[in-house]
Amino acid sequence: MGLVAGILMLSAGGFAPVSAQEIPNDFSAIVRQKLPAVVAITTRQIIHDQTMLDDFLNPFDSRGPAQPQVREALGSGFVVSPEGYIVTNNHVVADSTEIHVVFSDKETSPARLVGRDPATDIAVLKVDPRPNMTTTAWGDSDAMQPGAWTIAIGSPFGLGGTVTVGVLSARSRDIQAGPYDDFLQTDASINRGNSGGPLFNARGEVIGVNTAIVSPSGGSIGIGFAVPSRTARSVADQLIRTGRIERGFIGVRLQEVTPSLAQALGISSTKGALVASSSPAVRQRRPACNRGM
C-alpha cells in the first residue's frame, strides 16, 4: 500500500500524525501465525451434462453425446478447530466424489463432507486431527468499517499459501447470489481458487469467507466478496453440531438502513432494518422501517 507509519493525515484541526499501530509496517507476523491453518482443497467430480464441461471442450465436436467426465476443481479453506473441522464454500465441494486438503507443509489428507448450506455457500469438512493443529479464530464482521485492512490467504490457480492485502471496500453487498446476500466487499486480490479461503482483519481474525468476484476476464479487478463471519460462523457451528441447517422464515426480506436511505425515508437514525419486500402471504402495501432491531 506504500503507506508509512509517520505519514501525516488531514484532520479537522489541521495535520496530525498517524500512530504506528494504525498503519502496520507489514503483515508477516499474522501470515506466519495463520498460514498453517489455511488449506488448499482439491475435489473430483463426475460431470454428466455436456453444458457443465470445461470451456476447453471443443464446441464444434461432432462425435456425439459426451461421455461422463472427471473434473478436478481447486479451492481453499481454513481450520476452525483442533478436531479437524475445516470451513470452505459449498460451491467448492458440491457434488464431489473425492475431497482432499493440502496443508501448508504440502501434506495431503482425505476429507469428509460434514454438511453444506447452498443458501449461504458455506460448507464444513472434517479431516483427521494433526498434532498441534493450527486453527483460526473468528472475528466480528459487524465491527469492520470500510477502509479497514483485510488480508486474504488462499490458493488462487492452485498456488497455495498466496497472501494478498487490501481494505474493506463496502459492507452489506447484495450480488444476487442467493436469499441471504449480505457480502463484505474487499479490494484484496481474489481469484479462482481463493473460494472458501479466509479474509482476515488486521488482528488475524477471520471476518469473512472469500466467495465471489466481479470480473469480465475471470481474474481479479479489485472487486471481491466474502460471506461475513457473522453468517459463516453461525452456519458452520450448526453444520458441525447437526450436519444440516434449519432456519425459520418470517416472509420478509430485510435491507440495511444506510444514511442516504434514512434521509430519504425521513428518519433520524440508521438503527434497525428496512423491510424491503415480503412474500405474497404477508405482503404490505409499502415498506416499513423496523427501528427496534
**Residue 232 three-state SS:** helix
Catalytic residue numbers read 91, 121, 195
Amino acid at 144: M
| All three cell numbers of 164 | 494478498
Contacts of residue 15, defined as CB under 8 A and 6 or more positions apart, other chains included, come to 8, 9
| Measured distance CA(136)–CA(34) in Å, rounded | 7
Kind of pairing between the strands at 96-102 and 38-47: antiparallel
3-class DSSP string for 160-208: CCEEEEEEEEEEEECCCCCCCCCEEEECCCCCCCCCCCEEECCCCCEEE
Residue 21 is given by DSSP the state: T
> ∠ CA(185), CA(178), CA(149), 5° rounding?
15
